[in-house]
Chain A
Amino acid sequence: MTISTDKLLSLYRTMVLIRQCEEQLARSYAAGTITGACHTYVGEEAIATGVCAHLRHDDAVFSTHRGHGHALAKGVPPRELVAELFGRETGCSGGRGGSMHLFSPEVGMMGTSGIVGPCILQAAGAGYSFQLLETDQVGVAFFGDGAVGNGAFHEGINLATIYDLPVVFICENNMYATEVAFAYSARNTDVAGRAAGYGLHAEQVDGNDVVAVYEAAEEAVARARSGGGPSLMECRTYRTRVHAEGMGESGYRSQEEIDSWKARDPMVAFAKRVVEAGDLTDADLQAVDEEITEQVADAVTFATDSPWPDPATVADHIYGEGA
């Protein structure tokens, strides 16, 4: 492992931040503080963490309905995330979005989405801008296995490939789209293999191994930045909570399967590995855990104390220039 101790600690910190935020949001949902949908990223934290570690604020991330982790990893402050889900004016979208519409262009978080698919096309579009403007910025799309059967996957990957756009496509293959198994939706479940058929670099990665994701993303992001064109990473992973808070496990997957993936928790595996290797100590990790616990508590207080948006502003900003 050639990753510096600082970097290892920061990977751990991001994963813990996502996990603790998600668990808090789940509690707030259960308490009725959050209305609307709330899809958590628990079990998949290693992917956003490993990828976004290579991104700058001026790189553009386009995400999905399961996007809290992407937002946090890209640098959206937890206060703004929690306030957004609480529907407050101080949320990253001013309370206009909620869980599925997290926008923070200031840090290159160009939106989570209530629609499966468009993020793939929009990331290609960011790549188009960066190529035309001759910058070294990169567009990144995060999407699930559910998007692979959507036309946007085909069209976006093809466009990015034929135009050599600086884009990284991250498929988070957690084997299910809501309750439909990917193996049902696709005869060929090898997403990386399928993508490679379009003529771009594609690789399958263990999405529960933050180091594997980090290393693969390093290569893909560097390729895009240096004009080498797009790449796709298929990150195999698993969502260990229900599809959306408030839903149950209706029997579409077995308890054994869930338990086997819980045993492969990306945070726990990483902690074990770095401590065994002597890179970090239990005390280092515990300090991070405590720091994040405080940060999340602060975010909840901040959100709770924040004002509601002013209904008088409800029709503002439909147009950029006077209507």
Chain B
Amino acid sequence: MASGEMARREMTYTEAALEALTAAMVRDPTIFVLGEGIGERGGNFNTTKGLYQRFGPRRLRDTPICERGFVGLCTGAAMTGTRPIVDFMFIDFILDAVGELTNQIAKIQYMTSGRLKMPVLLRGCVGVGGGAATHHSGSYFPFFVNVPGFRVVVPTTPYDAKGLLATALRCDDPVLYLEHKSLLNVRGDVPEEDFAIPFGEARVCREGTDVTIVGVGPLVPKSLAAAESLAAEGISVEVIDPRTLAPLDMETILSSVGKTGKLLVADESFGPCGIGAEIAAQVMDQGFDDLAAPVRRLNGVHTPTPYSPPLEAAVVPSVEQVAVAVRELAAE
């Protein structure tokens, strides 16, 4: 078998992230993972599958159900020479640890003028889907982005899942690595060798000239699907995946808006004070003259997440809603 053919394989998003984690744990013996069911069981979402058997019980340690406790523990660990990973399973559980997150983890580097680093990776499954209902469906992107000190990473492809996790595990800052439910089993080509994708570099997923869509998480594939059908109608859509929300690559967004003059920000998380509001404000500041129409936002409905399938479907932006918003923008 030619080695060139081995270089890229198709694998799932979760498998790609696991590959990055495995490589990092081999390279860096100070990395350890805490969470519920991440030891022998390999993680509720297979995030640590096989690692316990390979790296042993101190580097993969199951915890009692005390999110605040183990996030606080990881804070102290990161201050003293190790690199903790908290695997929350569902990111909603992080809310029990908001004080440790916001008052401690995010502030330590600043308060010590960089004499202490805070290399903590906080990962978990986000988003609406599968009838998970309101305690297992949150995204909270705007909340994390609002706190100075965090890196907020939202991979949308297996390739990005691997490359961004590799960067997260070399980064000295606290990183929120947020994996959307609907993407975990998405398959794609992933290089076998180690590679890292820098934070703050958006990807232009599809080039176009009429309207720019910035999609967040699952709204990237949805926007791509909408763009495909809009192309048939003669509307040329550019789709941008910011990949990291903090830092946010405004340069790529602004240069796209410079070309299209029209912007839609599509994000499943809430609208008020959200990612779309922030991007719109920055475009207003720095790209106002390029705008040929008001910036549009499409967000999840600002409610708790209901369970029943028709209700659940009603709170998330659909491909059709993206298409409608783009058509309206194109007509402006």
Residues of A within 8 A of B119 (CB): 320
Interface residue count for A (Cβ, 8 Å)? 48
Does A7 have its Cβ within 8 Å of any Cβ on chain B? no
B132 to chain A, nearest CB (A): 26
Specify which of B77, B99, B148, B151 is in contact with A126 (CB 8 Å cutoff).
Answer: B77
A182 to chain B, nearest CB (A): 22
Residues of B within 8 A of A105 (CB): 79, 112, 115-116
User: Is B64 a contact partner of A159 (Cβ separation < 8 A)?
Assistant: yes
A118 to chain B, nearest CB (A): 5
User: Is B111 a contact partner of A110 (Cβ separation < 8 A)?
Assistant: no
Does B222 have its Cβ within 8 Å of any Cβ on chain A? no
User: Is A125 a contact partner of B115 (Cβ separation < 8 A)?
Assistant: no
Asked, given contacts A121-B100, A317-B109, whether A62 binds B114 with beta carbons under 8 Å apart, the answer is: no
Does A174 have its Cβ within 8 Å of any Cβ on chain B? no
User: Is A121 a contact partner of B80 (Cβ separation < 8 A)?
Assistant: no
Q: Which partner residue on chain B sits nearest A97 by CB separation? A: B111
Interface residue count for B (Cβ, 8 Å)? 47
Residues of A within 8 A of B81 (CB): 129, 133
A317 to B118, CA, bound (A): 11
Chain B 64-91 residues near chain A, CB threshold 8 A: 64, 66, 68-82, 84
Does A318 have its Cβ within 8 Å of any Cβ on chain B? yes
User: Is A122 a contact partner of B111 (Cβ separation < 8 A)?
Assistant: no
Residues of B within 8 A of A317 (CB): 109-110, 112-114
Does A267 have its Cβ within 8 Å of any Cβ on chain B? no
* Mask of A296-323 contacts with B, CB within 8 angstroms, 1/0: 0000000000000000000011111101
* Mask of B51-74 contacts with A, CB within 8 angstroms, 1/0: 000000011010110101111111
User: Is A321 a contact partner of B82 (Cβ separation < 8 A)?
Assistant: no
Q: Which partner residue on chain B sits nearest A128 by CB separation? A: B77
A237 to B237, CA, bound (A): 70
Specify which of B72, B78, B103, B110 is in contact with A152 (CB 8 Å cutoff).
Answer: B72
Residues of B within 8 A of A155 (CB): 64, 66, 68-70, 72
User: Is B66 a contact partner of A318 (Cβ separation < 8 A)?
Assistant: no
A187 to chain B, nearest CB (A): 23
* Mask of A104-115 contacts with B, CB within 8 angstroms, 1/0: 011000110011
Does B11 have its Cβ within 8 Å of any Cβ on chain A? no
Does A54 have its Cβ within 8 Å of any Cβ on chain B? no
* Mask of A155-191 contacts with B, CB within 8 angstroms, 1/0: 1101100110000000000000000000000000000
Does A229 have its Cβ within 8 Å of any Cβ on chain B? no
Does A223 have its Cβ within 8 Å of any Cβ on chain B? no
User: Is B76 a contact partner of A96 (Cβ separation < 8 A)?
Assistant: no
User: Is B73 a contact partner of A159 (Cβ separation < 8 A)?
Assistant: yes
* Mask of A249-264 contacts with B, CB within 8 angstroms, 1/0: 0000000000000000
Does B30 have its Cβ within 8 Å of any Cβ on chain A? yes
A161 to chain B, nearest CB (A): 11
Residues of A within 8 A of B148 (CB): 318
A306 to chain B, nearest CB (A): 15
The 4 closest A-B pairs by CB, nearest first: A125-B76, A121-B72, A155-B69, A122-B76
| A interface with B by C-beta (< 8 Å) | 60, 62, 93-94, 96-97, 101, 103, 105-106, 110-111, 114-115, 117-118, 120-133, 137, 139, 151-152, 154-156, 158-159, 162-163, 316-321, 323
7 A-B pairs within 8 Å (CB atoms) are namely A111-B108, A126-B76, A126-B80, A128-B82, A151-B66, A317-B114, A323-B247
